[in-house]
A and B are shown apart, each in its own frame.
Chain A
Amino acid sequence: MSTNDIRAYMPKGDLISLLILAVLILVVFPLSMDIFRLNLVGKYLTYAFVAIGLVLCWGYGGILSLGQGVFFGLGGYCMAMFLKLEASSPEATKIQSTPGIPDFMDWNQITELPWFWEPFYSFPFTILAVLIVPTIFAYIIGAAMFKRRVGGVYFAIITQAVASILTVLIIGQQGYTGGVNGITDLRTLLGWDIRTDSAKFILYFVNAGLLIGCLLIAQYIRKSKLGRLLVAMREREDRVRFSGYDVSDFKIFVFCIGAMFSAIGGAMFTLQVGFMSPSFVGIVPSIEMVIFCAVGGRLSIFGAVYGALLVNWSKTTFSESFPELWLFAMGALFIGVVMAFPSGLAGLYKQHIGPRIRNTLATIRRDYLASRANAKSQSFATD
Chain B
Amino acid sequence: MFSDYTSTELVSIFAMQGFAGLILFSVFVLMALGLAIIFGQMGVINMAHGEFMILGAYVTYLLSNLFETHMPALFSIYFFVAMIVAFFAAGALGALVEWGLIRHLYRRPLDTLLATWGLSLILQQTYRTVFGAREVGVSLPDWLMGSIPLTDIIEIPINGLFVMGLTLTIAVSVYFLMFKSRWGGQVRAVVQNRPMAGAVGINTEKTDRITFALGCGIAGVAGSAFTMIGSTGPSSGQLYIVDTFLVVVFGGAQSLLGTIASAFTISQAQSTMEFFLSGSMAKVLTLLTVVGILMLRPQGLFALKIRH
Indicate whether A and B interact.
yes
- A binding-site residues for B, Cβ under 8 Å: 58, 64, 66, 141, 144-145, 148-150, 152-154, 156-158, 160-162, 164-165, 168-169, 171-173, 283-284, 287, 290-291, 294, 324, 327-328, 330-335, 337-339, 342
**Which of the residues A58, A164, A168, A338 comes within 8 Å of B115, measured between beta carbons?**
A338
The interface-forming segment of B119-127, B137-145, B177-185 is B119-127
Q: Complex: how many Å from CA A337 to CA B284?
A: 34
Which of chain B's residues 91-108 have a Cβ closer than 8 Å to chain A?
101, 104-105, 108
Partner of A328, one of B120, B122, B245, B290: B122
With A172-B278, A328-B125, A335-B101 known as contacts, the answer to whether A154 contacts B246 (CB < 8 A) is no
**Contact indicator B288/A324 (Cβ below 8 Å):** no
B110's partner among A153, A324, A327 (CB-CB below 8 A) is A153
Q: Which of B105, B112, B115, B128 has the most CB of A within 10 A?
A: B115
Which single member of B121, B125, B279 contacts A334 (CB below 8 Å)? B121
Residues of B within 8 A of A (CB): 43, 45, 101, 104-105, 108-115, 117-122, 124-125, 128-129, 238, 242, 245-246, 249, 278-281, 283-284, 287-288, 290-291, 294-296, 298
Question: A64-B110, A153-B113, A168-B284 in contact; A331/B295 too (CB < 8 A)?
Answer: no
What's the minimum C-beta distance from A307 to chain B, rounded to whole angstroms?
A: 13
CB distance from A283 to the nearest CB of B (A): 6
A145 / chain B contacts, CB cutoff of 8 Å: 295, 298
A287 and B117 form a contact (CB under 8 A): yes
A158 to B298, CA, bound (A): 10
The answer to whether B110 touches A152, judged by C-beta atoms less than 8 angstroms apart, is yes
A-B contact pairs, 8 of them (CB 8 A): A148-B295, A153-B45, A328-B121, A331-B119, A331-B120, A332-B122, A335-B119, A338-B114
CA distance A148 to B296 in the complex (A): 8
A-B contact count (CB 8 A): 116
For B288, the closest partner residue in chain A by CB is A165
Which residue of chain A lies nearest to B124 when distances are taken between CB atoms in the complex?
Answer: A327
Closest CB in chain B relative to A367 CB, distance in Å: 44
Docked complex Cα distance between A141 and B295 (Å):
8
A144 CA / B294 CA spacing, docked (Å):
9
CB of B125 within 8 A of CB of A331, answer: yes
Majority secondary structure of chain B interface residues (helix, strand, loop or mixed): helix
Determine which of A149, A327, A339 lies in contact with B122 in the assembled complex, contact meaning CB atoms within 8 Å.
A327
Chain A nearest CB, measured from B46 CB (Å): 11
**B residues less than 8 Å from A342 (CB atoms):** 111
In the assembled complex, how far is the CB of residue A164 from the closest CB belonging to chain B, in whole angstroms?
A: 5
Instruction: Tell me if B101 and A161 are in contact (CB < 8 A).
Output: no
In the bound complex, CA of A171 to CA of B129 (Å) = 29
B121 with A339: CB separation less than 8 A? no
Across the interface, name the chain B residue whose C-beta is closest to A327.
Answer: B125
Nearest CB on B from A126, distance (A): 25
| Nearest 5 A/B pairs, CB to CB | A334-B118, A172-B280, A331-B122, A331-B121, A327-B125
Find B283's partner among A168, A173, A328, A331 (CB 8 Å cutoff): A168
Selected contact of B280 from candidates A64, A144, A171, A339, CB within 8 Å: A171
CB pair B287–A164 under 8 Å, yes or no, is yes
Contact A162 B295 (CB under 8 A): no
Cα of A234 to Cα of B291 in the assembled complex, Å: 25
Q: A157 to B295, Cβ gap below 8 A?
A: no
* A329–B67 CA distance with the chains assembled, in angstroms: 36
**What B residues does A171 contact at CB under 8 A?**
280
Output the least CB separation between B298 and chain A (Å): 4
Q: Given the complex, which residues of B lie within 8 Å of A339, measured CB to CB?
A: 101, 104-105, 115
Interchain CB contact under 8 A, A144 and B295: yes
* Residue in A141, A154, A337 whose beta carbon sits within 8 Å of that of B298 in the complex: A154
